[in-house]
């Protein structure tokens, strides 16, 4: 007992030294764990001591019963035998008294430490009021047992003192037996109470296991919450990637729409330029047709003048031929001059044919220009360049025609001057030509008239052809105007289509922006909700982890305290066993002394 107490006293400063080294929260946890361990040790030692005490009391009860039987037999035995028995009983009683003294002293030493351990257990385990009442009852019973043991000690001492001079009466033995039976009943009650306390400890251990299971569940929930959080973060990242893709698509659509708007503006400018060029072409073509008509009228007037002059000339030539017979030499000269005039006339014919060919070329070029205009209407960008080239070509052709007309007019003036000269010559040679051969004159005049008629018919045909060509050009101009009007209508339709497309694109852009804003708002609201959920889950996780840590600390503290209590109880039980053994020895000594004294 003293060694165990000394060990406990030695352990206390070591624990205090460790507590001083540890920080304040660790010191509290360590002290709580040490208290739990001490309480467990005390409780285990107490239960063991109580069990051993009860077993020893059970062992003593049959001995006391045998003692009562011996007392009953003592009355029948002889005095010598009784003295021998009394001497033995006195020796045994003395031994048992010594054992009882040792047990009582040990129990007295054990009681304050046991009270302290019970108080620590109540503080650590948070026992209910019923458990506190039970523990207080057990304390009262222990105190009563100690009092009974002290009383038995006093009785045994009194018996030893009285056995030296007097015999112990049977009544006192009966009283002792009653007290032993009472102590047995009390021991049974204490055993029951210890069993109840053990059951309570088992319940506490089951509660600890449940708390551990709850802690494991909290760990599982925290892991599931972390998995949900990771899944939500993945979904948020996916939604952010989708939003980025939508933003990129919307930006590309906006760029395309701006490009389309620029293209539409360019097309509008091109259409306006084409309209202006077409109007200019129309005006130029109208001017060209008017100029050609005027030139044709001028050609007709000049031809009529030439025919009238030729007729006059024929009359004059007839007069001249009447006088050619006289003036043959002069006639030959006149023939040569006629040949020159014919050559000049042929040159004029060639020039007229060239002019007709130029007109045909102009018509062909006009047709080609019409075809090119149709092609240009189909391809607006290429039309403008081709039309400008055609305008340049037409201007060049008109300039060439104007040059040709100027040269033709100059030649006509030259011919008029030559005709005037010939008239002057004819007037000079009239008097000389009267006596010449009229036959030759008539024959030559007929041939000349035939030639002039042929030339006149040829010129009429050419004029008719020129009129037909002018009509064709007018028809072509009308067709070109119709095609231009058709192209303008097509351009207007295309512009309307482009405007409709632009409006549709703007409406689609507005809808896309609205959808984007709505989706952004939805995503922001979802993100806010997710963030709030994540925050709540994080707070719950923190709280559960803190609770888990607290539960684990409590469980560890309770386990340590239970272990300490059990160890203390084991130690106390060992002490009680030693005390019971000493009491048993003392009782046996008293028996032996009683036997020796009264045997």
In this predicted structure, the answer to whether residue 61 has a pLDDT above a threshold of 60 is no
Q: Where are the domains of the chain?
A: 29-75+83-234+552-598, 272-509
Model confidence at 384, pLDDT cuts 50, 70, 90, reads low
Separation CA 471–CA 93 (nearest Å): 169
Spatial neighbors of 536 by CB under 8 A, at least 6 apart, are none
Q: Which two tokens stand for residue 599?
A: 């045997």
The answer for 327, left when phi > 0, alpha when psi is -120 to 50, beta otherwise, is beta
Label residue 343 exposed, middle or buried (CB < 10 Å: 0-12, 13-18, 19+): exposed
Segment 289-315 shows an average pLDDT of: 70
Query: 351-365, 399-413, 513-527, 569-583: which range is least confident on average?
Result: 399-413
**What pLDDT does residue 165 have?**
53
**DSSP-derived 3-state class of residue 579:** helix
**What pLDDT does residue 9 have?**
39
DSSP H or E run through 425: helix 380-433
Separation CA 18–CA 15 (nearest Å): 5
**What pLDDT does residue 408 have?**
58
Q: What is the DSSP letter of 127?
A: -
* 563-581 per-position pLDDT tens digit: 887 888 788 888 878 887 8
Buried b (16+ CB within 10 A) or exposed e, 505-515: beeeeeeeeee
Half-sphere exposure of 487 (CA within 13 A, CB side): 23
> Which of the listed ranges 475-484, 499-508, 551-560 does the model predict with the highest average pLDDT?
551-560
* 100-140 per-position pLDDT tens digit: 667 666 666 666 666 666 666 656 555 566 666 766 776 67
Tell me the pLDDT of the chain averaged across its residues.
67
Q: What percent of the chain has pLDDT over 90?
A: 0
Q: Residue length, the chain?
A: 599
Q: What angle do CA 244, 250, 254 make, to 5 degrees?
A: 145
**281, 391 in Cβ contact below 8 A?**
yes
Entry pTM: 0.25
CA–CA distances in Å: residue 571 to residues 3, 9, 98, 564: 12, 15, 22, 10
Nearest CA to 117 out of 70, 69, 60, 49 is that of: 49
In this predicted structure, the answer to whether residue 437 has a pLDDT above a threshold of 60 is no
Q: Which two tokens stand for residue 400?
A: 């060439």
Spatial neighbors of 487 by CB under 8 A, at least 6 apart, are 274, 278, 377
DSSP H or E run through 295: helix 170-322
Buried b (16+ CB within 10 A) or exposed e, 306-342: beeebeebeebbebbbbbbbbbbebbeebeeebeebe
């Amino acid at each position: 007992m003293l060694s165990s107490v000394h060990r406990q006293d030695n352990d206390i400063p070591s624990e205090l030294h460790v507590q001083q080294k540890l920080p304040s929260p660790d010191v509290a946890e360590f002290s709580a764990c040490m208290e739990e361990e001490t309480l467990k040790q005390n409780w285990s030692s107490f239960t063991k001591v109580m069990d051993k005490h009860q077993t020893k009391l059970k062992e003593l009860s049959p001995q006391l019963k045998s003692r009562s039987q011996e007392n009953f037999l003592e009355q029948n035995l002889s005095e010598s035998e009784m003295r021998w028995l009394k001497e033995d009983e006195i020796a045994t009683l003395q031994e048992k008294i010594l054992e009882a003294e040792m047990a009582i002293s040990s129990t007295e030493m054990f009681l304050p430490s046991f009270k302290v351990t019970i108080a620590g257990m109540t503080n650590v385990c948070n026992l209910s009021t019923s458990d506190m009442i039970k523990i207080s009852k057990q304390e009262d019973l222990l105190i009563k047992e100690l009092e009974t043991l002290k009383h038995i000690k006093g009785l045994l001492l009194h018996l030893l003192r009285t056995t030296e001079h007097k015999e112990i009466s049977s009544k006192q033995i009966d009283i002792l037996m009653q007290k032993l039976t009472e102590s047995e009943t009390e021991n049974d009650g204490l055993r029951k109470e210890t069993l109840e306390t053990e059951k309570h400890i088992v319940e506490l251990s089951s509660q600890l296991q449940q708390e551990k299971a709850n802690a494991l569940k909290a760990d599982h929930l925290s892991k599931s919450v972390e998995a949900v959080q990771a899944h939500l973060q993945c979904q948020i990242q996916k939604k952010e990637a989708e939003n980025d893709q939508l933003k990129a698509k919307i930006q590309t659509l906006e760029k395309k729409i701006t490009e389309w708007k620029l293209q539409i503006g360019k097309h509008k400018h091109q259409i306006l330029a084409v309209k202006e060029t077409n109007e200019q072409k129309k005006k130029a073509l109208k001017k060209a047709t008017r100029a050609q008509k005027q030139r044709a009228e001028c050609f007709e007037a000049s031809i009529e003048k030439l025919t009238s002059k030729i007729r006059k000339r024929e009359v004059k030539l007839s007069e001249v031929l009447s006088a050619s017979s006289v003036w043959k030499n002069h006639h030959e000269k006149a023939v040569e001059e006629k040949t020159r005039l014919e050559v000049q006339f042929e040159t004029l014919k060639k020039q007229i044919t060239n002019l007709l060919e130029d007109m045909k070329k102009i018509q062909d070029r006009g047709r080609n220009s019409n075809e090119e205009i149709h092609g240009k209407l189909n391809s607006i960008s290429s039309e403008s360049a081709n039309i400008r080239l055609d305008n340049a070509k037409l201007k060049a052709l008109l300039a060439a025609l104007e040059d040709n007309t100027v040269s033709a007019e100059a030649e006509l003036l030259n011919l008029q001057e030559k005709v005037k000269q010939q008239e002057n010559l004819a007037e000079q040679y009239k008097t000389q030509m009267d006596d010449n051969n009229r036959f030759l004159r008539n024959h030559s005049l007929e041939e000349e008239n035939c030639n002039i008629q042929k030339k006149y018919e040829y010129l009429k045909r050419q004029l008719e052809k020129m009129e037909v060509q002018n009509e064709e050009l007018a028809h072509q101009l009308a067709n070109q105007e119709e095609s231009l009007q058709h192209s303008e209508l097509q351009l207007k339709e295309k512009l309307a289509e482009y405007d409709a497309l632009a409006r549709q694109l703007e409406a689609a852009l507005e809808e896309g922006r609205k959808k984007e804003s709505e989706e952004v708002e939805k995503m922001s609201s979802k993100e806010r909700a997710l963030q709030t959920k994540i925050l709540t889950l994080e707070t719950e996780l923190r709280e559960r982890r803190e609770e888990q840590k607290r539960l684990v600390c409590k469980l560890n503290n309770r386990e340590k305290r239970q272990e300490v209590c059990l160890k203390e109880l084991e130690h106390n039980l060992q002490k009680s066993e030693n005390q019971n053994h000493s009491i048993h020895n003392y009782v046996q000594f008293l028996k032996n002394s009683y036997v020796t004294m009264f045997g």
